[in-house]
Amino acid sequence: MNLIEFKPEWSVEKPLAASPELPPARSHLPIVVAEDDIVSRAVITAMLRTGGYEPIVTENGCDAMTAMRLQPGACMAIVDWMMPEMDGAEVCRRIRASGKPAHIIMLTARGRKEDTVEGLDLGADDYLVKPVDRGELLARVRAGMRKLDAAAALATRLEELALLSQPVAPFHLRLPI
């Protein structure tokens, strides 16, 4: 069973206050969470909310892919490996095949080094093993957001440079006689 070690202070009914030691979330890129286990899903959601994020929560890979497709532009995905309907490995493959800019964190109970290598080779940008520390998860989300923000800024700059490199249409000055 894929469970994150649940602590009583993480009560879903009473949200945690944001920790003063954590910097506030700066990026508003969507975070899609795909986790089939209800307790793990609640814990991950609570962790992200304490970091200032409002995740889009799904129960399987198919729903996660639908949520990702509905988001314009880049987004982040936090996916479990073992899920019904479509597993996290297939989610990684499909996101990469789509060409959509995304940062994928594989969050799973599969903790062998071989699993980490396989998950990263399948297309995950980051790999975390359950139970996950809240501070580490939020730090990795912030790192992924920095990467996505930098990629978006670079794409914008490249578009500007492409416009500037186009030849200027010749024009003729006519003087009235």
What pLDDT does 14 receive?
46
Q: Token digits for 31? A: 């975070």
How would you write the chain as a 3-class SS string? CCCCCCCHHHCCCCCCCCCCCCCCCCCCCCEEEECCCHHHHHHHHHHHHHCCCCCEEECCHHHHHHHHHHCCCCEEEEECCCCCCCCHHHHHHHHHHHCCCEEEEEEECCCCHHHHHHHHHCCCCEEEECCCCHHHHHHHHHHHHHHHHHHHHHHHHHHHHHHHCCCCCCCCCCCCC
- The rounded percent of the chain whose pLDDT value lies above 90 is 60
| Model confidence at 135: pLDDT above 60 | yes
Q: Is the pLDDT of residue 81 over 60?
A: yes
**In the chain, what are the domains?**
28-163 (3.40.50.2300)
As a whole number, mean pLDDT of residues 7-33 equals: 58
Q: What is the mean pLDDT of residues 28-48?
A: 93
Higher pLDDT, 14 or 133: 133
Stated pTM of the model: 0.76
Q: Tokens for 63, please give them.
A: 């729903």
pLDDT averaged over every residue in the chain: 84
Tokens of 66: 């639908």
Question: What phi, psi does 102 have (nearest 5°)?
Answer: -155, 150
Bridge partners of 176, per DSSP, are none
pLDDT in tens, 84-116: 899 999 999 999 999 889 999 999 999 999 999
CA 33, 35, 36, 40 dihedral sign is negative
